[in-house]
Amino acid sequence: MAALIEAIGLTMRFGGIVAVRELDLAVNQGELVGLIGPNGSGKTTTINMLTGHLSPAGGRIQLRGERADGLPADRFAMRGVGRTFQITQLFSRMSVLENLLVPGLVRPHSTWDAARRQARLHLEFLGLAALEAAQARTLSGGQQKLLELGRALMLDATILFLDEPFAGVNPYLRDEIIRLVQQLHAQGRTFVVVDHDLEAIQRLVHRLVVMSRGQKIADGTVNAVRDDAEVIRAYAGV
């Protein structure tokens, strides 16, 4: 069976710098994958390519077996690829509810009533129901991360890329995010989570992919990757 999303020889260059070099990565339906690596290892660039926010300089992306590289981000979103960002990206001066209505109304046959109902269900699930009329910019950092997650859920995304979901989040909300991701994963959603918080990510994922200097250096179970000599070397900087 074809992977849900697959990167084959994916390469990205910024001027003379190769940010990602010939990366092969396949994520299957229902997996919960952690993508880790030291700063500048190319994790966010990889996510940006796999969600259409960057066009790869080389290689290709297969989404459910179909070629998808070069498609714009909105086409990825409409094909069920959701994401959150390293630095939270919201519609700051729009209400919490409107932030979810935007993805809820992008499909031509969607209606306002149905989108509102769906948005309120997600806000309830995320614990943000009481804040639906508040402007997004007034939320705390953790609540903004949750709202971003809600936006991806509104797309009915089958695969979600979470870029540093625990960065700048207090321990209580971090545990809450872990609980919500586990719950969504149990419902059948596929996740790729990027983070520096190794403790949190080990609690969450089943498979770890490690990148260093734009290349994949390890891919396996959490235990196997944790003991990998090359991974230790990359993190220790030796």
Partner 1 sequence: MRSGNLAGLGCILLVALVFPFLVDTYWQTVGILAIFYAIVAASWALLVGYAGQFSFGHMGFVSLGAYASALLVQWLAIPIPLGMAGAVVLSTIVGAGVGFICLRMRGPYLAIFTMAFSEVLRIVLLTENEVTGGAGGLEVAPLFHTRSNLPSYYLALGLLAASLGIMSLMVASRWGLFFRAIRENEQAAAAGGVRVVRFRVLVFAIASGFAGLAGTFYGPFIGILTPDIGSVDQMGIVVAMAMIGGAESLPAAVLGAFFVEWMYEALRAYGEWRLVIFGALLLLTMRFARNGLLALAWNQAVRVVPAWRRTQPAGGAAE
Phi, psi of 73 (to 5 degrees): -60, -40
**Cα dist from 63 to 121, 162, 165, whole Å:** 28, 18, 24
Which is nearer to partner 1, 191 or 208 (by Cβ)? 191
Which is nearer to partner 1, 157 or 234 (by Cβ)? 157
Which is nearer to partner 1, 36 or 54 (by Cβ)? 54
Supply the minimum distance, in Å, between the C-beta of residue 218 and partner 1.
29
Which is nearer to partner 1, 145 or 151 (by Cβ)? 151
Supply the minimum distance, in Å, between the C-beta of residue 143 and partner 1.
16
Using CA atoms of 223, 227, 230, 233 in order, give the dihedral in degrees to the nearest 10: 120
Q: Which residues bind partner 1 (CB under 8 A)?
A: 51-53, 72-74, 77-78, 82-83, 85, 89-94, 98, 101-103, 105-107, 112, 151-152, 154-155
E strand residue ranges, 5-132: 5-14, 17-27, 32-36, 58-63, 66-67, 81-83
Supply the minimum distance, in Å, between the C-beta of residue 13 and partner 1.
19
Q: How many CB atoms lie within 10 A of CB 128?
A: 23
Supply the minimum distance, in Å, between the C-beta of residue 121 and partner 1.
17
